[in-house]
A and B are shown apart, each in its own frame.
Chain A
Amino acid sequence: MAAVAAGVGQQWVLVEMVQAFYEAPAYHLILEGILILWIIRLLFSKTYKLQERSDLTLKEKEELIEEWQPEPLVPPVPKDHPALNYNIVSGPPTHIITVNGKECINFASFNFLGLLNNEKVKSAAQASLKKYGVGTCGPRGFYGTFDVHLELEERLAKFMRTEEAIIYSYGFATIASAIPAYSKRGDIVFVDEAACFAIQKGLQASRSNIKLFKHNDMADLERLLKEQESEDQKNPRKARVTRRFIVVEGLYMNTGDICPLPELIKLKYKYKVRIFLEESLSFGVLGAHGRGITEHFGINIDDIDLISANMENSLASIGGFCCGRSFIIDHQRLSGQGYCFSASLPPLLAAAAIEALNIMEDNPETFLLHLHKDSLRISGISGLKVVGESFSPALHLQLEESWGSRENDVKLLKRVVDYCMNSGIALTQARYLEKEEKCLPPPSIRVVITVEQTEQELDRAASLLKEAAQSVLN
Chain B
Amino acid sequence: ILCDECGCFCIRRHTHGCGLSQRVSKDRSSKPVNKISAACINHIVHNGGLYKRPFNEAFEETPMLVAVLTYVGYGVLTLFGYLRDFMRQWKIEKCQNATEREEQKDFVPLYQDFENFYNRNLYMRIRDSWNRPICSVPGAKVDMMERVSHDYNWTFTYTGRVIKDIINMGSYNYLGFAQKTGACQEAAAKVLSQYGAGVCSTRQEMGNLDKHEELEKLVARFLGVESAMAYGMGFATNSMNIPALVGKGCLILSDELNHASLVLGARLSGATIRIFKHNNMQSLEKLLKDAIVHGQPRTRRPWKKILILVEGIYSMEGSIVRLPEVIALKKKYKSYLYLDEAHSIGALGPSGRGVVDYFGLNPEDVDVMMGTFTKSFGAAGGYIGGKKELIDYLRTYSHSAAYATSMSPPVVEQIITSVKCIMGEDGTTIGRARVQQLAENTRYFRRRLKEMGFIIYGNEDSPVVPLMLYMPAKIGAFGREMLKRNIGVVVVGFPATPIIESRARFCLSAAHTKEMLDTALKEINEVGDLLQLKYSRRRLVPLLDRPFDETTYEETED
**Which residues of A approach B to under 8 Å, CB–CB?**
56, 61, 64-65, 68-77, 81, 83-84, 86-94, 97, 99, 106, 108-111, 116-118, 121-122, 125-126, 129-138, 140-147, 149-150, 169-173, 182, 196-198, 201, 204-205, 239-244, 269, 272, 274, 302, 310, 312-313, 315-318, 325-328, 330-331, 333-334, 337-338, 340-343, 345-346, 348-349, 352, 426, 428-433, 436, 446
Contact = CB atoms under 8 A, between A and B. Distances in A.
Give the top 7 A-B pairs by smallest Cβ distance, nearest first. Answer: A170-B233, A74-B393, A108-B206, A342-B235, A352-B197, A343-B374, A86-B208
A135 B414 contact: yes
Q: Which of B100, B108, B203 has the most CB of A within 10 A?
A: B108
Nearest to B291: A68
B12 to A, nearest CB: 20
Given A73-B245, A312-B199, A431-B204, 7 more contacts: A61-B289, A64-B292, A77-B389, A133-B378, A343-B172, A431-B205, A446-B205
A137 B374 contact: yes
A76 B36 CA distance: 47
B200 interface: yes
Interface in B227-250: 232-236, 240, 243, 245
A322 to B, nearest CB: 14
Contacts of A97: 206
A86 B232 contact: no
Contacts of A129: 180, 185, 188-189, 192, 410
A274 B202 contact: no
A109 B137 CA distance: 32
B261 interface: yes
B138 interface: yes
Interface stretch (B273-281, B329-337, B451-459, B519-527): B329-337
Given A69-B334, A205-B267, A318-B198, A337 B136 contact: no
Given A145-B131, A432-B402, A349 B106 contact: no
B200 A172 contact: no
A109 B179 contact: no
Nearest to B395: A84
A338 B235 contact: yes
A343 B234 contact: yes
A318 B405 CA distance: 8
Contacts of B177: 135
A272 B108 contact: yes
Contact of A122 (B108, B138, B193): B193
Contacts of B139: 133
13 contacts: A77-B389, A77-B393, A83-B204, A130-B185, A134-B378, A135-B138, A149-B133, A170-B404, A172-B400, A173-B236, A205-B267, A346-B411, A431-B204
Interface of B: 98-101, 103-104, 106-111, 119, 123, 130-139, 142, 145, 168, 170-173, 177-180, 184-185, 188-189, 192-210, 213, 232-236, 240, 243, 245, 259-261, 264, 267-268, 289, 292-293, 302-307, 333-336, 367-368, 372-375, 377-380, 389-390, 392-397, 399-405, 407-411, 414, 488, 490
A68 B305 CA distance: 10
Contacts of B134: 143, 145-147
Contacts of A99: 206
Contact of A65 (B108, B171, B289): B289
B184 A134 contact: yes
A90 B109 CA distance: 52
Given A133-B378, A142-B170, A171 B405 contact: yes
Contact of B138 (A143, A302, A327): A143
A164 to B, nearest CB: 9
Nearest to A56: B293
A242 to B, nearest CB: 6
Contacts of A312: 198-200, 405
Name the residue in B197, B202, B336 with the highest tally of chain A Cβ atoms < 10 Å from its Cβ.
B197
B305 A71 contact: yes
B419 to A, nearest CB: 13
B402 A433 contact: yes
A272 B107 CA distance: 6
Contact of A116 (B171, B198, B373): B198
A316 B198 contact: yes
A122 B213 contact: no
A274 B268 contact: no
Contacts of B397: 83, 433
A78 to B, nearest CB: 9
A68 B292 contact: yes
Given A77-B396, A116-B196, A89 B402 contact: no
Nearest to B207: A93
A274 B200 contact: no
B490 A142 contact: yes
Residue among A68, A118, A142, A169 with max Cβ neighbours from chain B (10 Å): A142
Given A121-B197, A243-B108, A73 B208 contact: no
A201 B232 CA distance: 17
Nearest to A204: B268
A16 to B, nearest CB: 61
B196 A331 contact: no
A143 B142 contact: yes
A129 B191 CA distance: 12
